Amino acid sequence: MPYSEQTVRSVRPWSNRTFSFTLSRPQDFAFENGEFVTLGLKREGKLVARAYSIVSTPDRDYLEFLSIHMPDGPLTSQLVRIRPGDSVWVNSKATGSLTLNHVLPGRTLYMLASGTGLAPFMSLIRDPELYARYEHVVLVHSVRTAAELAYRDEIEALADAKLHYVPTVTREPFPTPQRGSDLFRSGELSQRLGLPAPDPAQDRVMVCGNPDMTRELTRHLKDAGWTPTNHRGIGNFTTELAFVVHHE
């Protein structure tokens, strides 16, 4: 049985569409910053499980996650109700394409996230190793409403001369209303931060967003001469879908 029963330690709502929660950590559960694991709830003996990026870092004795709430979603319509002491089932194996081993070291690392796609970057920005590999790290988080800017205070506290945090809000008034992918593609992002224009020879990009945004950026990067990391080797950009769209 690859799933083990874990206990909810805490739940933290951000907005009516998003919340975070922490769980006890399965024994011997190993993972790298940026990876995801499958977790779920049992209903009438049947497990409903989905992929979740891990927000917390491997040095903690708990696992933290950032979740969407889809009112019709088989898992999250139930998961939104968990309380401390409840059970959540966690797979024993973590995996993913957003670890530090999926991009080469370089000058500036751009992390482009939309919605819950922020999750894998939270563990990465807490890792000192990240700052040893890059001169600058730019984390862009695009959401619909300001309340969905999860972990904003924590990221702002971490931001310094090396870590640049650019929150953007697209559906209510906010100082930066553009989508992060548009800011990157137009060159406005680097310009605004006083950084050189993104260059595939020196800079790296990680994307974790909704399927449209991820597809769009992948096309843009390839057209501009960037190489994705895949089975052929490590490139200068790597992507992961923050979720998959299920069609009825």
Ligand X SMILES: Cc1cc2nc3c(=O)[nH]c(=O)nc-3n(C[C@H](O)[C@H](O)[C@H](O)COP(=O)(O)OP(=O)(O)OC[C@H]3O[C@@H](n4cnc5c(N)ncnc54)[C@H](O)[C@@H]3O)c2cc1C
Question: Would you call 46 helix, strand, or coil by DSSP?
Answer: strand
Does 22 help bind ligand X (rule: CB under 6 A)? no
Closest distance to ligand X from the beta carbon of 225 (Å): 27
Closest contact distance (angstroms) between CB of 34 and ligand X is: 11
* Contact in structure between 37 and 103 (CB atoms under 8 Å): no
Tell me the β-bridge partners of 10: 22
Cα–Cα nearest to 170, from 190, 146, 193, 189: 146
Residues with Cβ within 8 Å of 247's Cβ and at least 6 positions away in sequence, in order, are none
Among 14, 19, 52, 184, binds ligand X (CB under 6 A): 52
Minimum Å gap between C-beta 32 and ligand X is 14
Q: Say which residues have a Cβ less than 8 Å from residue 26's Cβ, sequence separation at least 6.
A: 4, 6, 90, 92
Q: How far apart are CA 139 and CA 150, in angstroms?
A: 13
Residue whose C-alpha is closest to residue 23's, from 68, 54, 51: 54
Of positions 9, 74, 159, 200, contacts ligand X by CB under 6 A: 74
x/- letters, 94..123, toward ligand X (CB under 6 A) = ---------------------xx--x----
Indicate whether 147 belongs to the interface with ligand X (CB under 6 A).
Answer: no
| Three-class DSSP category at 112 | strand
Q: Judging by DSSP bridges, how do beta strands 163-169 and 87-91 pair with one another?
A: unpaired
* Binding region for ligand X (CB under 6 A) out of 56-64, 67-75, 159-167, 184-192: 67-75
Residue 63 contacts ligand X per CB under 6 A: no
- CA 95 and chain centroid, separation: 13
- Kindly tell me which residue out of 68, 155, 169, 183 binds ligand X, with binding defined by CB under 6 A: 68
For the CB of residue 68, give the shortest distance to ligand X in the complex, in Å. 4
Closest-by-Cβ residue to ligand X is 73
Measured from the CB of residue 214, what is the shortest distance to ligand X in angstroms?
11
With CB under 6 A as the contact rule, the residue among 76, 108, 229, 236 that binds ligand X is 76
**What's the closest the beta carbon of residue 30 comes to ligand X, in angstroms?**
18
Sign, Cα dihedral of 124, 40, 215, 144: negative
Residue ranges that bind ligand X, judged by CB under 6 A? 36, 50-53, 65-68, 70, 73-77, 115-116, 119, 240-246
